[in-house]
Copies of this chain bind each other. A is one copy, B any other.
Amino acid sequence: MKLSTKSRYGVRALFDLAYNSGSLPTQVQDISRRQDISPRYLEQIFQNLKKAGILTSKRGPKGGYTLARKPEEISIRDILLATEGESLFVDCIVVGDGRRKRKPECGLNGCCVTQTIWSDANNLMTEHFGTVTLKDLCERAQAMGLKREVDNRMMYFI
């Protein structure tokens, strides 16, 4: 069980957005270049993140994407929810409000012992990822001495 690239790229891209962007929207191609992710593919990922309410977009010249909330209000959990779905590990557990049912998968639904382990693990991870935000990532990056890219659109105004 590995995270899909949608999750890994998604987190990287959102971090990039939080770390390198000012108040202006950032284009997919810039993030794509900095993070070395196929721009077309990144567009797809960003669509999901937009649907999930993590990103907002602006079309046209000088358009691009912006974080919908402040970095400290976007957790890894939020991102994974958009890219991986409700439950990590297995599909056969019912999570949250239980509106969406999952495929039963095995006949022993409800009385399956192993289900409880995956459910516990899922809760643990959800809780953990809920406490890590984009702001934390930015702080780590700064502590590691990661360079911010100068916004080259500013050049025109100098």
Q: Which residues of A contact B (CB under 8 A)?
A: 1-4, 7-8, 11-12, 15, 36, 76, 84, 88-91, 106-107, 111, 113-114, 116-118, 120-121, 124-125, 128-129, 132, 137, 140-141, 144, 146
Contact of A117 among B11, B107, B146 (CB under 8 A): B11
Contact of A114 among B15, B107, B128 (CB under 8 A): B15
Quick check: B11 and A1 within 8 Å, CB to CB? no
Measured in the bound complex, the distance between the Cα atoms of B113 and A11 in whole Å is 10
CB-CB under 8 A from A111, the residues of chain B are 144, 146
Quick check: B124 and A2 within 8 Å, CB to CB? no
CB-CB under 8 A from A12, the residues of chain B are 114
8 new A-B pairs (CB below 8 Å) besides A1-B88, A8-B114, A120-B132? A1-B1, A1-B84, A2-B88, A3-B118, A76-B117, A113-B146, A121-B128, A124-B125
Measured in the bound complex, the distance between the Cα atoms of B112 and A144 in whole Å is 9
The answer to whether A132 and B117 touch (CB under 8 A), given A2-B89, A2-B91, A90-B3, is yes
